[in-house]
Amino acid sequence: MNIWIYALKNDIEIKDIENYKNILVGDIIFGYIQIIESGGFFIVKKLVKKEDGQVEENDIESIKVDLPYSIMYCCKGGRFLYKLQKKEINFLLNEKIFDDSKNKKEIDENIREKGGENIILYGVPGSGKSHTIKTKYPNNEYTFEKLVFHPDYSYSDFIGQIMPIVKDKIVSYDFIPGPFTNILKKAYNDPSGKYVLVIDEINRGNAPAIFGEVFQLLDRDKNGNSDYAINNENIAKIVYGKDNIEKPIKIPSNLWIIATMNTSDQNVFTLDTAFQRRFSMQLVKNSFDKKIQEFESEEKYNEYKNFIDKKILNTDVSWQIFCKTINSVISDNENDVNSMEDKRLGVFFVRNDDLESKEKFAHKVLKYLWDDVFKFDKDKLFNKNKCHTLEEVIERFVDKNGKSQFDIFIDDVKAMLYV
């Protein structure tokens, strides 16, 4: 059995599509549409070629898919069918499309994984929060849904929203699930699996408003199940099926919610105490002294060691020495009014290639130090006799070579770099 996908066009019949002759008996064809307002792609039709050459058509509940533009290109505006590769089928299509909901198996709660919790990993920018998630929750054990909060992100984006869907020139309004509802469905229907919802930059969006009534589900018992439930027919229809829309919604024990937060960005959106107490707040230490157990493999650990000991261009100063030196200056510059602890450079603030390019290093690191960290105390780090503007800082660093590249800093700091 082959699985095909094509762009639904009202003026093109399935049998008129140019490569329809390649369809075999028993092949499944999915039709997708794009909702202009949201930019999302939704599968709304399922067709099966029968032995008599006819095509059996079935409208299905709209299912959102992350459709690569390469597939759109192959479909050429509805004039071609695209044959899905094996690796694309599970990625694109919700497997429940293939199931007969009437034969749906009962969920065995006795085998459900336990231990799901809500965690916020916080620390300075580049301290390794994403690295911690990757190491502690490996891809071969956990299934992920990832998203990023931002000022325009809303409850509708997170939970789902009712959208107009055009089927056979008739407009209907269906609930299109968001990432929370999608992973809730997957976790509930796969009790032996482990699922993680990753929310990057949780404080860059209005988190309490984005969660809405789902906020009540964040209280969990010792196994990881929600202590309380909510009623939401739209979510229930997606998670439990259209015959169970009155069933209360809970977060199951096999679903983890892991969020990250840069402490330097606390002024974007504040997380109130009631919200924070429903999460385990875990500080990711900004330390270079990482152990091999913190990495996926010995190879990754060796890559890390090479990275932190890598010299910044031809200065003879490693990234580790530079970072520790600058961070000590930042920490010593704190006072009762102006706390700078969360402005320190994180271990992973830069990448390998940033250490190999004068321009990249200058525009990423030096600009950050000039504009953000020492915005009001530039003379505590920079040599104001030689550099009066950021433009002069970058120009001097780029034009010089070796030790003289750090003439942009005051003498005490430069001496610390070359101890």
- pLDDT for residue 277 is more than 60: yes
| Mean pLDDT on 313-340 | 82
CA dist., res. 196 & res. 139, Å (int): 10
CATH superfamily, domain at 113-283: P-loop containing nucleotide triphosphate hydrolases (3.40.50.300)
- The arithmetic mean of pLDDT across residues 295-302, rounded, is 87
Q: Beta 55-65 vs 41-49: how paired, if at all?
A: antiparallel
DSSP string, 20-58: GGGPPTT-EEEEEEE-TTT--EEEEEEEEE-TTS-EEEE
- Tell whether the model's pLDDT for residue 246 goes beyond 70: yes
CATH 3.40.50.300 location in the chain:
113-283
Q: What is the C-alpha separation between 195 and 254, in angstroms, rounded?
A: 6
Average pLDDT over residues 214-242: 92
User: What is the residue type of 219?
Assistant: D
Q: Extract the tokens encoding 354.
A: 């940033």
Tens-digit pLDDT profile for residues 164-220 = 776 656 677 788 889 999 999 999 999 999 999 999 999 889 999 999 999 999 999
Q: Provide the pLDDT for residue 341.
A: 75
**pLDDT of residue 336 exceeding 80:** no
Identity (one letter) of the amino acid at 302? Answer: N
For residue range 132-171, what is the model confidence (pLDDT) as tens digits?
998 889 888 999 999 999 989 999 999 998 887 766 566 7
Q: How many whole angstroms separate alpha carbon 114 and alpha carbon 126?
A: 31
pLDDT by residue (tens digit) across 27-85?
888 888 887 666 678 888 888 888 777 788 877 777 777 777 778 778 887 888 888 87
228 and 239 Cβ atoms separated by less than 8 Å: no
Where are the extended beta strands (E) located within 68-205? 82-83, 118-123, 142-148, 160-167, 170-177, 194-200
In the chain, pLDDT over 70 holds for what percent of residues?
A: 90
What pLDDT is attached to residue 61?
Answer: 73
Mean pLDDT within 115-123: 93
Residue 99 pLDDT: 47
In the predicted model, is pLDDT for residue 97 greater than 60? Answer: no
Average pLDDT, the chain: 85
CA distance 95 to 93: 6
Q: Is the pLDDT of residue 392 over 60?
A: yes
Which residue did the predictor score with more confidence, 3 or 338?
3
Q: How many CA atoms lie within 13 A of 370 on its CB side?
A: 20
The DSSP symbol for 266 reads T
Give residue 67's pLDDT: 77
CA distance 170 to 192: 40
Residue 100 has pLDDT above 50, yes or no: no
What global pTM score does this model have? 0.72
Averaged pLDDT for residues 309-330: 93
